[in-house]
């Protein structure tokens, strides 16, 4: 039997998060007190009214059958209503909404739907690494969109080579951003729509953290911009909004041709998400939103506790607008990977090196705020007490 992997599979990047997770597990098993702030895995339970909705739905024999291939219309209607209420965006639930097995799956699928071997995808750098997987599977090429501090961690379209712009077919964006935790203003999306329309580029906007109004302002949706539905789509996730990470449910909304392509691919990959989960998601979107407001307040308190813990030290960080903090690493530490490795080995604090997110992530580490306040307070103490040189000031 020949079990040699196909080239497309061998080209897929390995998850550095999984490797660090294994190291954390080994340290914990050996009795060490490790604070794991490496991953963005929500640590709080799903709100009870959503769990009760699932309990009710799973007892209905109708939900034990195969659902419609493209998902339940009632869930698509709930997503459309949610967008209309929160962002003033009108969506046709039948043609402009697709249900996903988590937003991550759709972010991989869109590249497979539209990129051929050799095609160019404009990729933020730094970026969520799973964007890369779909491009690799499509045997396409990535061209970086550097996210620099001096540009507010927004891409500079004017800096792109015109020939690259003409070859590009797809572009990823993500605000509130992972890993930098900044948000994007309306004007940036207006520039994006103009750029995409001029060059025929499909925009894939990852809005996974868009429902978390951390800092008191509602993040801007790409689709709020006039003409946005003509040039792209937006991905949302119930994982971060309702602590439903283990439920694996999200959606993509916008341009109907993109939605049709993703639905076609999913007919062969998944058929559809279990009906009882889809119905529980309806309860989440249409039910009381008090739990979301409480969650935002919890994340704000956690952010403040962590930042307060850094006060009086050499560490300097802009107030995060999401569930991550983006911190410059100390000079002379050998880079973000070496620094994170030392921090885990010696201070038993796990963070994500910026280099994992791309070349322009070097010089930073990402710290997840998904831990109880007392653990974040202790994490800040370990960070400020860590025997290293003073953190460098980010270059302008």
User: Does position 156 have pLDDT exceeding 90, yes or no?
Assistant: yes
- Mapped onto helix, strand or coil, the DSSP state of residue 121 is strand
User: Does position 393 have pLDDT exceeding 50, yes or no?
Assistant: no
Answer whether 107's CB lies under 8 Å from 250's CB. no
Q: Region 19-44: what's the mean pLDDT?
A: 92
Supply the pLDDT for residue 110. Answer: 98
pLDDT in tens, 39-63: 888 999 999 999 999 999 999 999 9
Within the chain, where are the H helices? 7-10, 16-29, 48-58, 73-87, 103-114, 130-137, 162-167, 186-199, 238-242, 256-269, 275-286, 290-310, 336-347, 373-385
Asked if residue 167 has a cis previous peptide bond (ω within 30° of 0), the answer is no
Supply the pLDDT for residue 142. Answer: 97
Q: Region 271-277: what's the mean pLDDT?
A: 92
User: Does position 394 have pLDDT exceeding 70, yes or no?
Assistant: no
pLDDT bin (cut points 50, 70, 90) of residue 315 is: confident
Return the CATH fold of 65-286: 3.40.640
pLDDT in tens, 78-127: 999 999 999 999 999 999 999 999 999 999 999 999 999 999 999 999 99
Supply the pLDDT for residue 330. Answer: 84
Question: Measured between alpha carbons, how far is residue 273 from residues 70, 97, 213, 248, 297 in Å?
Answer: 9, 14, 28, 9, 31
What count of Cα atoms within 13 Å lies in the side-chain half-sphere of residue 33? 4
Residue 108: both structure tokens together: 């991989």
Supply the pLDDT for residue 332. Answer: 83
CB count, 10 Å around CB of 146?
Answer: 15
Supply the pLDDT for residue 390. Answer: 42
Supply the pLDDT for residue 217. Answer: 87
Own/partner contacts of 296-304, CB < 8 Å, gap of 24 or more, are 296/212, 296/213, 296/214, 298/44, 299/212, 299/214, 299/323, 299/369, 300/214, 300/215, 301/373, 302/369, 302/371, 302/372, 302/373, 302/376, 303/214, 303/369
pLDDT in tens, 328-374: 998 888 899 999 999 999 999 999 999 999 999 999 999 999 999 99
> What are the sequence ranges of the domains in the chain?
7-45+290-385, 65-286
- What global pTM score does this model have? 0.94
Q: Region 244-266: what's the mean pLDDT?
A: 97
Q: Region 308-334: what's the mean pLDDT?
A: 88
pLDDT in tens, 189-210: 999 999 999 999 999 999 999 9
Q: Region 275-283: what's the mean pLDDT?
A: 97
What proportion of the chain, given as a percentage, has pLDDT over 70?
A: 98
User: Does position 312 have pLDDT exceeding 90, yes or no?
Assistant: no
Pick the CATH number of 7-45+290-385 from 3.90.1170.50, 3.30.70.890, 3.90.1150.10, 3.20.20.10: 3.90.1150.10
Supply the pLDDT for residue 388. Answer: 52
């Amino acid at each position: 039997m020949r079990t040699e992997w196909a080239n497309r599979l061998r080209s897929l990047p390995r998850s550095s998060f999984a490797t660090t997770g294994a190291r954390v597990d080994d340290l914990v098993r050996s009795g060490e007190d490790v604070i794991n702030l490496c991953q963005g895995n929500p640590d709080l339970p799903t709100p009870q009214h959503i769990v009760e909705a699932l309990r009710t739905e799973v007892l209905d024999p109708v939900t034990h059958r195969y659902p419609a291939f493209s998902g339940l219309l009632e869930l698509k209607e709930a997503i459309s209503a949610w967008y209309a209420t929160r962002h003033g965006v009108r969506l046709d639930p039948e043609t402009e909404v697709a249900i996903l097995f988590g937003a991550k799956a759709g972010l991989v699928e869109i590249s497979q739907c539209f990129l051929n071997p050799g095609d160019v995808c404009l990729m933020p750098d730094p970026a969520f690494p799973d964007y890369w997987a779909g491009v690799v599977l499509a045997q396409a090429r990535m061209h970086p969109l550097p996210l620099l501090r001096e540009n507010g961690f927004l891409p500079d379209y004017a800096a792109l080579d015109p020939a690259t712009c003409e070859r590009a077919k797809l572009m990823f964006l993500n605000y509130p951003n992972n890993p930098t935790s900044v948000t994007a203003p309306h004007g940036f999306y207006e520039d994006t729509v103009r750029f995409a329309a001029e060059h025929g580029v499909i925009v894939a906007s990852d809005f996974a953290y868009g429902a978390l109004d951390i800092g008191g302002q509602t993040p801007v949706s790409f689709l709020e911009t006039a003409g946005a539905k003509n040039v792209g789509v937006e991905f949302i996730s119930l994982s971060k909004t309702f602590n439903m990470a283990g439920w694996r449910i999200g959606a993509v909304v916008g341009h109907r041709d993109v939605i049709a392509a993703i639905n076609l691919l999913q007919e062969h990959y998944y058929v559809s998400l279990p009906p009882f989960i889809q119905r529980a998601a309806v309860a989440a979107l249409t039910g009381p939103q008090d739990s979301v407001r409480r969650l935002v307040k919890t994340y704000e308190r956690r952010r403040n506790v962590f930042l307060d813990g850094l006060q009086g030290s050499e560490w300097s960080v802009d107030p995060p607008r999401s569930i991550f903090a983006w911190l410059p690493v100390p000079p002379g530490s050998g880079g973000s990977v070496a620094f994170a490795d030392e921090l885990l080995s010696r201070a038993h604090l796990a963070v994500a090196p910026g280099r994992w997110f791309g070349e322009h992530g070097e010089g930073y580490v990402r710290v997840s705020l998904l831990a109880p306040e007392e653990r974040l307070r202790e994490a800040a103490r370990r960070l400020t007490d860590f025997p290293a040189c003073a953190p460098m000031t980010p270059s302008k």
